[in-house]
């Protein structure tokens, strides 16, 4: 593995990377990806998440138009839901600066496919979790802080609105779908999801039960509520199943079992 640092908002740096490594496929997973932080830093979120994608697309167009490009789009783009389950035909109505930035980057990617005939595909991924998540993500926060309570180094867990529902999945399986998108004969956009939603309350109570913790240690903090939020969202992965041959059948409680055990045992990934 060769790790090379690069500021993707700097077009000149990108071009040097392209010349040095001569890529044939690019998977863009870079973003300011926190919805909560985007409300506090809307300018920085929108600027980075759009400009970085535009730079990548322009670099491909000018350097080598045969490069295949994957853009990480987000289920947050749908926002105000009109119908469930979500399909690829659902209209975007983003409810956060983060969602707005991802929707803009999504349409940039589609436009470069249509205007310049580039091989660009967007994976509209719903929530996907792994041990590698940072602590500002809900699942990671709940598990790490619940373990701290179990070990006696923390007394309570503060959380926001637990009544919202999300479509959660296992990140390693979702990465398989990303790869499959760039192996197709023609570029397209796909929803990558489990097809079911679960409430944050169900998740946090499952984690506490798994660790044998009293639920009175869960404290609702109004300061952690978002100004606007999606109440319930889950997608229909039929297109990905039919065209990519991607099948996903993990219940999220199975994923939680893996994540809790990995966190408890301090899983370490070799470089």
CB-based contact 71:105 (threshold 8 Å) = yes
Annotation says 199 is catalytic = no
CB-based contact 95:40 (threshold 8 Å) = no
What is the three-class DSSP state of 159? strand
- Indicate which residue of 76, 90, 129, 145 is catalytic: 76
CB-based contact 6:50 (threshold 8 Å) = no
Annotation says 254 is catalytic = no
Token readout for 6 is 């690069």
Question: Cβ of 91: how many Cβ atoms within 10 Å?
Answer: 11
Whole-number Å distance between alpha carbons of 28 and 16: 17
Question: Cβ of 82: how many Cβ atoms within 10 Å?
Answer: 9
Pick the closest to residue 58 from 45, 47, 67 (CA basis): 67
Annotation says 205 is catalytic = no
- Indicate which residue of 38, 74, 96, 101 is catalytic: 74
Which H helix or E strand runs over 120? Answer: strand 119-125
Whole-number Å distance between alpha carbons of 125 and 116: 25
Whole-number Å distance between alpha carbons of 246 and 235: 14
H helix intervals, 158-241: 171-181, 200-211, 238-239
- Indicate which residue of 33, 73, 90, 98 is catalytic: 98
Whole-number Å distance between alpha carbons of 259 and 251: 13
Whole-number Å distance between alpha carbons of 162 and 201: 5
Which residues are the active-site residues?
A: 74, 76, 98
């Amino acid at each position: 593995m060769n790790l090379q640092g690069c500021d993707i908002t700097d077009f000149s740096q990108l071009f040097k990377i392209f010349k040095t490594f001569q890529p044939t496929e690019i998977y863009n997973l870079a973003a300011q990806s926190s919805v909560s932080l985007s409300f506090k830093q809307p300018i920085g979120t929108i600027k980075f998440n759009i400009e970085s994608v535009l730079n990548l697309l322009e670099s491909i167009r000018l350097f080598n138009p045969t490069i295949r490009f994957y853009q990480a789009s987000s289920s947050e783009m749908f926002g105000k839901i009109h119908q469930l389950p979500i399909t690829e035909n659902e209209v975007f109505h983003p409810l956060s600066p983060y969602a707005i930035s991802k929707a803009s980057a999504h349409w940039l990617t589609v436009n470069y496919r249509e205007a310049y005939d580039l091989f660009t595909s967007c994976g509209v991924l719903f929530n996907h979790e792994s041990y590698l998540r940072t602590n500002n993500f809900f699942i990671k926060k709940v598990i790490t802080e619940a373990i701290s309570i179990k070990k006696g180094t923390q007394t309570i867990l503060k959380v926001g609105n637990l009544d919202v529902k999300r479509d959660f999945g296992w990140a390693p399986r979702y990465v398989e779908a990303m790869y499959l998108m760039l192996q197709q004969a023609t570029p397209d956009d796909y929803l990558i999801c489990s097809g079911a939603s679960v409430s944050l309350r169900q998740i946090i109570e499952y984690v506490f039960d798994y660790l044998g913790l009293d639920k009175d240690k869960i404290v609702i903090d109004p300061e952690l509520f978002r100004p606007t939020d999606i109440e319930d969202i889950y997608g229909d992965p039929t297109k990905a199943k039919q065209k990519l041959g991607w099948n996903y059948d993990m219940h999220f409680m199975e994923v939680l079992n893996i994540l809790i055990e990995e966190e408890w045992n301090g899983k370490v990934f070799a470089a």
